[in-house]
């Protein structure tokens, strides 16, 4: 049997039900090999309401990967998620879910599968415990300082009653999607999982990172509970005003070594260990693009905009070690952390190989904002951007899109990965905007932004769409012959110096193979 769209999770074994192939809500069947559906140019045209929901509007513009329907109706049933259900009953339902899901997911189908699942379940368990430790630390700190609010207690009670079941279900389903890509050769097993002697197995390294996280979580949650974000310590005309916001209530915003060191562990804890798997979905459209190019990436130039600590870039380089990669970010501290991470990847995975670039890792570094990329026109075959646009004001989004299109070569690929939006998973829509409470001032405008239209306005063509739990991936192509583009919004950056595939075409054969259960 084959997976085309996921069944809604309505039984006591929700993950197993979602992965039960052939029972798709849209009628996908055994004989149906389609996992990329052409853009539906007739759907929603007269529906004003749907046009306010980008997730629905995407069906007009993008080929739909099977994951779009997989996640569209994904939910954890009341037997687990309802706070009024007695905890013993919920624990029993969770155990049954895990048992049946292990069978449906093929956890023990091979030693490779068992290793993947063992690693990732352990990883999620670690981040769950670390998240609880962070909340407890925040509660203790507020008690000592006499600034305790009801928010900390409410958050702890909510975590205990929920049993983290929602995030656990999301993580398991995300790992299923991730492993299917690995099994089908879209990308490799995570390099940090398979590398002997990796620092993540050192108890000293774990203890140091965990201590840094707990301290940061305590401080950030305290600021959130009191609604008082910290001012950025560094003021400079080099940085746009929007960039000086301390997103997530994090210490120093993007402007310190401390912030860069703790960022990865903080975000993975927030997503219970599934953020890496979500980011790796950016490699799916890239694999289709690279099908006709050297498998090691030689001869291909890629720019990652807002690369942060370089975490995604390590997975990218591990799959395409000879790809010429440029990491661009506005924070010198995050670029410094990215350089350390790329150097560590090269030492562990490509020792003695002359890959070029800084430190022999085949990577160059560029300090630049997304809206003013100081590179020539038509410089890169691929441009990627992961988790940036929800932190940009609307006018800056348009300028950034125009810049990314400008530096992309004709025939090139742009991969956009960010938070889900309204209409992607409609059962989450009522609460989706609450992420803005984490000092994310532009999030409410982000979740209603039509990025298909935004990137078409700067001359690109919509290609494919994937969903990945809390994230979405959109890919675009730059036509070989330029099309007239709408004039983009211009933003004066304070830090800047003075054959293509279209929606409805077939995707590459190696990623069109139907996932088998």
Residue 482: count other Cβ atoms within 10 Å of its Cβ.
9
Name the phi and psi angles at 39, rounded to 5. -60, 135
Q: Looking at 155-159, 290-294, 340-344, 432-436, which range is the least confident one?
A: 155-159
Dump pLDDT digits (tens) for 90-117.
Answer: 677 766 766 666 666 667 778 999 999 9
Tell me what pLDDT residue 489 has: 55
Both tokens of 515, joined, read 């996932």
Is the predicted pLDDT of residue 397 greater than 80, yes or no?
A: yes
Is the predicted pLDDT of residue 155 greater than 70, yes or no?
A: no
Single out the residue of 350, 118, 138 nearest to residue 325, CA to CA.
350
Dump pLDDT digits (tens) for 34-44.
Answer: 345 666 655 44
Tell me what pLDDT residue 102 has: 64
| Distance of alpha carbon 208 from alpha carbon 221, whole angstroms | 20
Q: Looking at 19-23, 277-281, 367-371, which range is the least confident one?
A: 19-23
Is the predicted pLDDT of residue 497 greater than 80, yes or no?
A: no
N-term to C-term CA, the chain: 6
Tell me what pLDDT residue 133 has: 82
Dump pLDDT digits (tens) for 279-314.
Answer: 999 999 999 999 999 999 999 999 999 999 999 999
| Distance of alpha carbon 44 from alpha carbon 57, whole angstroms | 7
Q: How far is CA 221 from CA 55, 265, 283, 287, 431, in A?
A: 31, 15, 33, 39, 19
- Computed over every residue of the chain, the mean pLDDT equals 81
Crossing angle for the helix pair 203-226 and 111-145, to the nearest 10 degrees: 50
More confident residue, 439 or 421: 421
Single out the residue of 313, 385, 375, 377 nearest to residue 345, CA to CA.
313
Tell me what pLDDT residue 153 has: 47
More confident residue, 134 or 289: 289
Calculate mean pLDDT across residues 338-353: 96
Calculate mean pLDDT across residues 378-387: 98
For the chain, domains (ranges, CATH) are 275-512 (3.40.50.150)
Q: How far is CA 18 from the centre of its chain?
A: 21
Is the predicted pLDDT of residue 24 greater than 50, yes or no?
A: no
Both tokens of 148, joined, read 């305790």
Name the phi and psi angles at 417, rounded to 5. -130, 130
Is the predicted pLDDT of residue 79 greater than 80, yes or no?
A: no
Q: Are strands 461-468 and 63-65 parallel, antiparallel or unpaired?
A: parallel
Is the predicted pLDDT of residue 495 greater than 50, yes or no?
A: no
Share of residues in the chain with pLDDT > 70 (%):
74
- State which H helix or E strand residue 64 sits in: strand 63-65
Tell me what pLDDT residue 420 has: 97
Tell me what pLDDT residue 515 has: 47
Dump pLDDT digits (tens) for 210-228.
Answer: 888 888 878 887 787 777 7
Tell me what pLDDT residue 381 has: 99
């Amino acid at each position: 049997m084959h997976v085309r769209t996921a069944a809604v999770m309505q039984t006591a074994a929700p993950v197993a039900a979602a992965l039960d192939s052939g029972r798709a809500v849209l009628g996908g069947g055994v004989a149906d090999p389609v996992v990329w559906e052409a853009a539906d140019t007739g759907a929603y045209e007269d529906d004003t309401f749907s046009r306010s929901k980008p997730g629905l509007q995407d069906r007009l513009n993008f080929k739909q990967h099977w994951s779009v329907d997989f996640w569209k109706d994904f939910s954890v049933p009341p037997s687990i998620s309802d706070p009024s259900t007695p905890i013993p009953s919920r624990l029993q339902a969770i155990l049954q879910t895990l048992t049946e899901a292990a069978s449906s997911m093929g956890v023990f189908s091979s030693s490779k599968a068992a290793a993947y699942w063992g690693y990732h379940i352990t990883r999620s368990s670690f981040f769950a415990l670390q998240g609880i430790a962070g909340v407890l630390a925040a509660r203790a700190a507020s008690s000592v300082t006499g600034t305790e609010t009801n928010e900390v207690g409410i958050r702890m009670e909510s975590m205990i009653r929920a049993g983290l079941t929602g995030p656990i279900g999301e993580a398991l389903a995300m790992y299923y999607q991730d492993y299917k890509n690995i099994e089908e050769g879209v990308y490799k097993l995570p390099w940090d999982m398979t590398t002997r002697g990796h620092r993540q197995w050192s108890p000293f390294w774990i203890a140091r990172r965990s201590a840094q996280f707990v301290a940061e979580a305590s401080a950030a949650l305290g600021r959130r509970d009191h609604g008082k974000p910290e001012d950025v310590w560094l003021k400079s005309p080099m940085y746009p005003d929007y960039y000086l916001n301390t997103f997530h209530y994090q210490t120093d915003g993007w402007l310190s070594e401390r912030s860069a060191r703790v960022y990865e562990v903080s975000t993975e804890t927030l997503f219970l260990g599934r953020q890496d798997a979500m980011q790796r979905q950016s490699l799916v459209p890239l694999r289709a693009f690279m099908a006709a190019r050297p498998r090691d990436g030689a001869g291909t130039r890629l720019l990652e905009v807002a690369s942060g600590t370089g975490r995604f870039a390590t997975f990218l380089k591990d799959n395409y070690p000879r790809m010429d990669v440029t990491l661009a970010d506005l924070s010198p501290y995050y670029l410094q952390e990215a350089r350390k991470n790329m150097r560590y990847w090269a030492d562990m995975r490509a020792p003695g190989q002359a890959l070029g670039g800084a430190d022999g890792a085949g990577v160059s570094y560029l300090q630049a904002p997304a809206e003013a990329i100081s590179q020539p026109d038509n410089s890169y075959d691929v441009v990627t951007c992961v988790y940036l646009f929800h932190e940009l004001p609307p006018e800056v989004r348009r300028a950034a899109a125009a810049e990314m299109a400008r530096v992309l070569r004709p025939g090139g690929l742009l991969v956009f990965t960010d938070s889900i939006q309204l209409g992607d998973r409609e059962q989450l829509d009522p609460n989706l905007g609450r992420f803005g409470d984490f000092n994310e001032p532009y999030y409410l405008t982000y979740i209603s932004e039509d990025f298909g239209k935004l990137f078409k306005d700067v001359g690109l063509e919509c290609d494919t769409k994937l969903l990945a739990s809390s994230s979405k991936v959109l890919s675009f192509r730059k036509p070989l012959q330029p099309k007239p583009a709408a004039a983009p919004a211009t933003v004066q950056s304070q830090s800047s110096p003075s054959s293509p595939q279209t929606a409805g075409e077939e995707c590459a054969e190696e990623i069109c193979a139907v996932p088998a259960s």
